Amino acid sequence: MARITLVVNEFDTGSETFLRRLATLLAGDGHTVTEYSLLESRTTHQIEPGRAMALPAANSAGFPLAAAKLATRSSKASATAMSRATARFGRSSRAVRAALHAAPLLATRPDVVHLSFSGIALSLADALELLDPQTRVIVSCRGTGELVSPVLHPERVEALSSVLNRCDRVHAVSEAVAGAVVGMGVDRKLIRVIRPAVDTNKFSRKATYQPIGSDSQIRVVSVGRLHWIKDFSTLLGAFGQLRDSGCEAQLTIIGDGPEKDALQYRSFVLGLAGSVVFTGPLPPEQVREQLEGAHLFVLSSLSEGTSNAALEAMALELPVIVTGVGGMPEVIEDGVNGWVVPPSNPAKLAESMTRAVSNSSLAEQIGQAGRASLAKGLTLEMQSSAIRQMYQELL
């Protein structure tokens, strides 16, 4: 059995759902799994294999003290990291930073280091060079780091390509993400496409789907971080058009983020304040309840790897409308198991919303087809099998 270190941004956050499942799967297979967090979500700084440990962000005030504690508790790993860093980068601040990030990894004596985002791989590029030669490295590419960041920061593409080519496997959540990685110059032989998956047992309706028109108000729901990339502004515009057409509807937006104030004010300007509810972040079970109580799910993103929220809505037989970005067209066929619209187009989004709410039987049929389509390639069993195969290739 192997020692595996999973590197995440923060423990116990929604964006780490895949890593939590991965840790459970690998531990269940008998591997020793340690989670290493880069942010201050936990401050115990445990370094024993099989335990969680954390260092604050490298640019935070708490990083030097935390790193000093780590050096004291694991002097051998810290000394090895510093020796290798000095040999590689000379006596420099770069060597010190690389050693401080590499020491927690070396302390776990990993056979495999799995980085949960390509952005983490980029930030730890120097530290990865200090690992033992036999240590295998896997990087998960989840969407934003490959589809969006290269557009906003083209100067980082060469560095990202370099670090991914030095890894042993690159996990992509969709063919779209895989194509973007190949476009950066990464060897296609390193890439394994493993899509997100849904626990269809957990996400199974407790009550029968209530068709649109079965009560006086249509309930529309969307889930995601309130960030520009999710483009809730377009959703609000489309929802306003739906309301203007005479449809009695309520929109519930679940999530939090930097765009919250702007979106709340936009809903006021559009005259929607009384029909749009911003719930803030909710526990998973409450999100599930909101989905099950809705008539329609809408995803308005400008970019997506593959949206877990959309897949969960499909599992609950909720008809979904998504933008045709990233991996979404790979799992949703327009008019078959959902509707696909162009991004940043309120008119087209409103048109699909109107189509859904004006044809109750079609919407119900689309919802049922959505759940059925998950069994073709997006189940936990299929995801687990693909993960095991990727790890077996390296161990």
Residue 44 confidence (pLDDT): 42
Is residue 19 located within the same domain as residue 111?
yes
Within a domain: residue 204? no
Q: Which two tokens mark 174? A: 């969709």
- pLDDT-wise least confident of 5-14, 142-151, 242-251, 297-306: 5-14
Q: Which domain holds residue 339?
A: 218-374
Q: Which residue has the higher pLDDT, 48 or 146?
A: 146
Is residue 251 located within the same domain as residue 175?
no
Is residue 295 located within the same domain as residue 193?
no
Within a domain: residue 285? yes
Q: Is 104 helix (H, G, I), strand (E, B) or coil?
A: helix
Residue 61 confidence (pLDDT): 65
- pLDDT-wise least confident of 186-190, 264-268, 356-360: 356-360
Within a domain: residue 213? no
Residue 16 confidence (pLDDT): 58
Q: Which residue has the higher pLDDT, 12 or 388?
A: 388
Within a domain: residue 203? no
Is residue 340 located within the same domain as residue 318?
yes
- Residue-wise DSSP of 227-269: SGGG-HHHHHHHHHHHHHTT--EEEEEEB--TTHHHHHHHHHH
Within a domain: residue 93? yes
Within a domain: residue 191? yes
Is residue 35 located within the same domain as residue 88?
yes
What's the CATH number where 343 sits?
3.40.50.2000
Is residue 233 located within the same domain as residue 189?
no
Is it the case that residue 188 has pLDDT exceeding 60?
A: yes
Q: pLDDT tens digits, residue range 6-50?
A: 888 765 554 556 777 888 889 889 998 888 877 654 434 443 444
Query: Among candidates 98, 103, 85, 105, which has minimal Cα distance to 5?
Result: 105
Within a domain: residue 157? yes
Q: Which residue has the higher pLDDT, 19 or 188?
A: 188
Q: pLDDT tens digits, residue range 263-287?
A: 999 999 999 989 999 999 999 899 9
- pLDDT-wise least confident of 211-225, 277-291, 368-382: 211-225
How far lies 156's CA from each of 15, 89, 146, 186, 354, in Å?
23, 20, 11, 14, 42
Is residue 182 located within the same domain as residue 111?
yes
Residue 378 confidence (pLDDT): 87
Q: What's the pTM?
A: 0.88
Could you give the number of structural domains in the chain?
2
Kindly report the average pLDDT of the chain as a whole number: 88
Query: Among candidates 323, 326, 314, which has minimal Cα distance to 378?
Result: 314
Is residue 106 located within the same domain as residue 141?
yes
Is residue 163 located within the same domain as residue 230?
no
Is it the case that residue 228 has pLDDT exceeding 50?
A: yes
Q: pLDDT tens digits, residue range 325-341?
A: 999 999 999 999 999 99
Is it the case that residue 75 has pLDDT exceeding 70?
A: yes
Q: Which residue has the higher pLDDT, 38 or 350?
A: 350
Is residue 40 located within the same domain as residue 130?
yes
Within a domain: residue 207? no
Is it the case that residue 259 has pLDDT exceeding 90?
A: yes
Is residue 45 located within the same domain as residue 178?
yes
Q: pLDDT tens digits, residue range 115-124?
A: 999 999 998 9
Is residue 192 located within the same domain as residue 228?
no
Residue 12 confidence (pLDDT): 53
